[in-house]
Amino acid sequence: MKAFASKLVDLTQKNAEKIAWQWAKDVKSNLKTNSYHDAPEEKIIDQAANFYQYFQEMFSHETPFERAEEVFQKYARERHAEGVPLHEAVYALILMRRHIWLYAEFQTIFTVEAEHRKAVESLSRTILMFDYIIYVVTREYWKLMKPEVTKN
Amino acid sequence: MQSSYATKLIDLIESKAEKIAKQWAADVMKHNRTPSYHPLRKDLVIEQGVNFYRLFRQMSLAEIPYEEAKNFSWRYAEEFYQQKIPLHEALYALILMRRHLWLYAEFQGTFVTALEKQQAVESLNRTILMFDYVSYQVTEKYQQLTVEAVNKKLGIVKTFLMGKLVGGLKNTYKVAFMAILIIAACILTYYNHTAGQVVVFTHLFYIPIILAAIWWGKKGVLVPIILAIVLVASHSIFLKNAPFVDDIIRAVMFIVIGLVVGWLMDSVKKMEEPYEPFKS
């Protein structure tokens, strides 16, 4: 598990700033992330760079879901306080995942045929981590929305 | 253009949609992250699964796959919102749908050779793209439904308190309008007290008092305090021989009513606050 994962994780960790910069450029112009358009670039690059650091830590953690809960509940509260609608926060996370993968593809880290199997496994693990993150972020937003108001 | 790898996966999904949906339903109806699905009717859950898996073909044929996904996403969101499924569980159920699809493909040995492994990466990317569209649309729709429900609940209160009509004015206009009302109240008090009339003109003071509470909440209590001082001061100057008690009671009531309505308005605003990020 560690072998295939470490390649992608190492790449993400080493290039967190670069990937964050590419993500920030995307999120600032993407039609599905309107509330990021006017946000200061430095601020959102920092946000993404931190995210990638946490992601790398979570990737190799023994209990990644618990780690996601520790870190990303706070992340959700911060985005909510900034007034980012949940669907945009979710889409920004989706873009973060895409940019990890785009960067890995661009760097052609999985070149030889034998590495395609590793690529599938890396991709699956990345998706699993993001599934946890999206679940935790959505749950926290849902709590903040106090949906009991809508009951009955 | 649709490539062969995509066709392979799509064919598998379409022919086995019901089977995969049943496996997914069994999982989601006992998974600890989707407890709200546990008491649902199994056929309803399976139907959503089948709809999701069939969406694959529809999206691959559609000119704009994102638009095609909406048909499924909105129905899915509406149906599970009505069933009072929290959004994070609805999303997690979608995540499980995607996993089951992939598990089934792996179990069937759809991608065995090295070339097929490469195709698997591409297929996986395609699955994820579809899921990304659906999860974005479901989240957006859930928020829309939640905000609508909140507005419906608070709408009566807001309309009753004219929140949308006079509440929409700019603060400068509000201050100017309030100043005019206070001056009018001073003139009215002076006129009635100097003329020694016993008309119950002070009921009119509740207009600025209620407006101030709607606009500024508890902070609006400044207006009833000013009006109470005006009333009591005017009484002590112009009605020295008349009993004080009635006007003292009126003055106290101004402040009490201002505080109660102001507190209510602050509560209404607080209830709306968590939904502000969803109104864009």
Question: What does the pLDDT average to over A44-65?
Answer: 87
B150 and A134 in contact by Cβ < 8 A?
Answer: no
Reference B88, options B144, B40, B129, B138; nearest CA is: B138
The pLDDT value recorded for residue B6 is: 60
> Which sign, positive or negative, has the C-alpha torsion B247, B251, B252, B256?
positive
pLDDT at A149 over 70: no
Predicted confidence band of residue A3 (pLDDT cuts 50, 70, 90):
low
Is residue A84 a part of any domain in this protein? yes
Whether the predicted pLDDT of A1 surpasses 70: no
What's the ipTM? 0.83
pLDDT for res A126: 84
- Residue B258, C-beta contacts closer than 8 angstroms, at least 6 positions apart: B209, B212, B213, B220, B221, B223, B224, B225
User: What pLDDT sits at residue B24?
Assistant: 93
Looking at residue B1, its pLDDT comes to 43
CB of A111 within 8 Å of a chain B CB? The answer is: no
B33 chain-A contacts, CB cut-off 8 A = 135
Tell me how far the alpha carbon of residue B125 is from its chain's centroid.
33
Residue A93, in any domain of the structure: yes
Q: List chain A residues with CB under 8 Å of B280.
A: 34-35, 83, 85, 88
From chain A, pick out residues whose CB is under 8 angstroms from the CB of B95.
Answer: 131, 134-135
The residue-averaged pLDDT of A9-37 equals: 88
Contacts of B80 (CB under 8 A, 6+ apart): B48, B90, B93
Q: How far is A84 from chain B (nearest CA, A)?
A: 6
Q: Which residue out of B31, B73, B88 would a mutagenesis test of the A interface target, given it has the greatest number of A Cβ atoms within 10 Å? A: B88
In a domain, A152, yes or no: no
Q: What is the pLDDT of residue A83?
A: 86
Q: Do A114 and B275 touch (CB under 8 A)?
A: no
pLDDT averaged per 10 residues in sequence order, chain B, 280 residues: 60 84 93 93 89 79 84 88 90 91 70 63 76 91 84 65 56 89 94 79 92 90 95 89 87 95 83 58
Domains of chain B, each with CATH number or no CATH: 4-154 (1.10.490.70), 166-278 (no CATH)
DSSP state of B166: G
Give pLDDT, residue B39. 93
Give B117-155 as a 3 state SS string.
HHHHHHHHHHHHHHHHHHHHHHHHHHHHHHHHHHHHHHH
B74 touches chain A (CB under 8 A): no
List the domain range (segments joined by +) for residue A6: 2-146
Whole-angstrom CA distances from B121 to B84, B105, B137 are: 36, 13, 24
Chain A nearest C-alpha distance from B24 (Å): 16
For A106-143, the pLDDT digits (tens) are 566 555 555 666 666 777 788 889 999 999 999 999 88
Structure tokens at A68: 């996601």
pLDDT of res. B233: 93
Partner-chain contact A85 B271, CB within 8 Å: no
pLDDT at A89 over 70: yes
Does the beta carbon of A66 lie under 8 angstroms from any beta carbon of chain B?
no
Q: How far is CA A5 from CA A48, A121, A148, B183, in A?
A: 20, 8, 41, 74
Among residues 32-51 of chain A, which lie with CB inside 8 Å of chain B? Answer: 32, 34-35
Tell me, yes or no, if B136 comes closer than 8 A to chain A by beta carbon.
yes
CA separation for the pair B262, B273 (Å, rounded): 17
Total number of domains in chain A: 1
Q: Which distant-in-sequence residues (6+ apart) come within 8 Å of B13 by Cβ?
A: B20, B53, B56, B57, B101, B105
Nearest to A146 among B118, B274, B278 (CB): B274
Cα(B8)–Cα(B119) distance, rounded to whole angstroms? 10
Residue B153 C-alpha, separation from nearest chain A C-alpha, in angstroms: 8
Residue A151 in domain: no
Closest in B118, B120, B139 to A86, CB measured? B139
* pTM reported for the whole predicted model: 0.71
| Residues A98-109, mean pLDDT to the nearest whole number | 73
**A139 domain-assigned:** yes
Among A34, A65, A128, A149, most B C-beta atoms within 10 A, so best to mutate, is: A149
Q: What pLDDT sits at residue B222?
A: 95
CATH number for A78: 1.10.490.70
